Structure 1
Amino acid sequence: MNRLALLAVGVAGLTVLATGPATATPAAAPVGAATGRTTPTTVTTCGNSGLQAGLLTRLCAEVTGDTVQFYGVVSLAGPPSPGSPAPATKELSTTMSAEFVGSGAPPLTQDKPALFTSTTLEVRGPVSTAPCGTTVRGAFGVASYPWAPRPVAHEVTLTC
């Protein structure tokens, strides 16, 4: 199978995956032995994936009580062709932002350079705290010359 056909099959498969629902994975909440209180559960959800700088990107959020941390995931958009050399390392410029919907406050923004090899890369954003019931919207952009970012977004509500 030539590279163009393989890329087309990979993009078609990713399009099908990208239209699926967001995933949630709750962590275990053990009971404290001495206090009898439970540890807050961390719930991880991810938004739809998108292609940026020739790579597959996705924005996820970890919510624990009244705190949220967004993190971006960058990976290859498809498998390399058999017999082809390993993909070259890419210098990426990543931008992560988080805003409290309806608060009027400016978004928290983080710019961070990253080096991408052929393994999945995770870019963590700052931890934010907000009152229960607040909706937090995050965006994750990846740029690499000559490609401009096309940010992916994800929104979570702190249900405490």
Structure 2
Amino acid sequence: MNRIARIAAGAAGAAALLAAPVPALAAAQPTAAAQATAATVTTCGWSGLQAGLSTKVCADVTGDSVVLYGQIGLAGPPSPGTPWPPAPQELLTRLSAEVVGGGALSAVNGRTVFQVSTVRVDGGTVHAPCGSTVHASFSVEAIWRGPAPVTVDVPVVC
């Protein structure tokens, strides 16, 4: 068999394997309707910058369930001459959510220590009516810095 014939035979064999149905795999796959209801969509708002920190708020939406969380990180590399690692900072956090045109869903206030690594601040899970929009707000403050809330609006598509 020459080289071209071997390549053609290999390609034909690969095509036959890919075209063959795999019943066990097909049975294990959820239906399109089940995939649509179980899909989680993550949406994050724009980052906010304040005194060297970058903050943002995110929401994971699955059906009518919305998981809210905020993130705190460094806004960029340290300035030359800045001691490294920086001293830990105790921050006051507030994460709140409401249905647009409706009422408040939740508000979580807390304390978080931030030093260098990105910190996730969990706000819990809320349930909103299908077809509504959830507005979430996340703010961080310290003794020497006031809050500068960041927001995100997420549709609840069931």
- Aligned partner of 1:102 in structure 2 is 101
CA–CA separation in structure 2 for the residues paired with 1:76 and 1:32: 47
Kept in 2: contact 1:53–1:143 (CA 8 A): no
| Structure 2 residues without counterparts, runs of 5 or longer | 1-25
Name the SS of the counterpart of 1:149 in structure 2.
Answer: coil
Matches within 5 A, 1:1-160: 33=28, 37-38=34-35, 40-81=38-79, 84-103=83-102, 105-160=103-158
Tell which structure's C-alpha radius of gyration is larger.
2
C-alpha deviation, 1:51, in angstroms: 1.6
Q: Which runs of 5+ in 1 are unaligned?
A: 1-30
Structure 2 length-normalised TM: 0.74
Instruction: Give distance in 1, aligned partners of 2:29 and 2:85.
Output: 53
Q: C-alpha distance in 1, partners of 2:129/2:105? A: 16
> Matched residue pairs, number?
129
Q: Is the 8 A contact 1:52 1:143 kept in 2?
A: no
Shift of 1:85: 2.1
Q: What is the Cα-based RMSD across aligned positions, in Å?
A: 2.1
Give the alignment's TM-score, normalised by structure 1: 0.73
35-44 or 145-154: bigger deviation = 35-44
Higher helix share: 2
Distance 1:32 1:138 in 2: 40
Distance change (3 Å), C-alpha of 1:128 and 1:32: farther
How much identity, in percent, do the aligned residues show?
47
Range that drifts further, 77-86 or 142-151: 77-86
